[in-house]
Amino acid sequence: MPIYLYLDRGSIVHRLNPTVKVFALFIMFWSVYWVDHPLALLPLGLLLVAMAQLTHSWPNFYRLRWLFILLIFFTTLAWMVFYRKGPPLINTRIIHLSRASLIFGFGRGLKLAELLATSVLFLSTTKVEEFTAGLQRLGVPYRVGFAITLSFRLVPLFIDSALTVVQAQSLRGYEFNRGGPLERVKRYVPVVIPVFMGALRKANNMAMALEARGFGVSATPTSYIDYPIRTRDRIAFAALTGLAIVYFLIYYTGYGDISVK
């Protein structure tokens, strides 16, 4: 299964300057952060849907559809336990179902789903190299940016090796799912050790190969790809700034809140 989400579609969003894309990621998180009410979150949701259509990213959303559904459903459910305000429709020792708790919980679920959707859109339209370049432009040191890039490459390798180790041990008659929760965690030792040792070896090999390719000579390496700033980047930047201000005002004026009478 491919672990990268990047989809080479060449839409206008794909072609935006990486710095703008990293900025967009930040602004979407910012806007989602300030408001709680589902109605206030709705425009952002619609924007994300439009973007998914524009960038042809639906296959990634389809792959993660269960995650989205579960996220909204369980968050809504969980807040019925903790959010105990408003006149109850059902009130037991565990569940407090009210209009307010329903709206609040759904709002939280929507919030998380929008954060996830933003990330999926970002990764669907941005290559890891662009991510590093974007971070670098925003002042993040090259090494930090590169470490993030590298982790994208390592995760699939480790998942792959973990799956192989699980197979190897199960063929030696090992059962992973036995006993209580603690016992089950402990039973993963025969997987964790080989994966960990393998990761150390791999990391060591990578470190050698990296330095042998000159990594570390310069704190600010040159970049083969030029990321010029075009008109569309300026427009996107202005629009995103506007969005950030609008959402801060929604928060500031109290329209994004959930009022409980």
Residues of the shown chain interacting with other proteins in the complex, contacts defined by CB under 8 A: 4, 6, 127-129, 149-150, 153, 156-157, 161, 164-165, 167-175, 189-191, 193-194, 197-198, 201-202, 204-218, 220-226
**Smaller CB separation from other proteins, 26 or 227:** 227
Please state the closest distance from residue 7 (CB atom) to other proteins, in A. 12
Please state the closest distance from residue 22 (CB atom) to other proteins, in A. 17
Please state the closest distance from residue 224 (CB atom) to other proteins, in A. 4
Helices 128-137 and 18-34, packing angle to 10 deg: 80
**Smaller CB separation from other proteins, 66 or 224:** 224
**Smaller CB separation from other proteins, 11 or 88:** 11
- Do 125 and 56 touch, CB atoms closer than 8 A? no
Helix (H, G, I), strand (E, B) or coil at 211: helix
C-alpha 22/C-alpha 134 separation (Å) is: 6
Please state the closest distance from residue 152 (CB atom) to other proteins, in A. 8
Phi, psi of 112 (to 5 degrees): -60, -40
Residue 219, token pair as written in the block: 């704190």
DSSP string covering 92-131: -SS-EEEHHHHHHHHHHHHHHHHHHHHHHHHHHH--HHHH
**Smaller CB separation from other proteins, 181 or 228:** 228
Please state the closest distance from residue 187 (CB atom) to other proteins, in A. 11
Residue 207, token pair as written in the block: 């470190």
**Smaller CB separation from other proteins, 70 or 197:** 197
CA 112-11-126 angle, to 5 degrees, is: 55
**Smaller CB separation from other proteins, 30 or 142:** 142
Please state the closest distance from residue 174 (CB atom) to other proteins, in A. 5
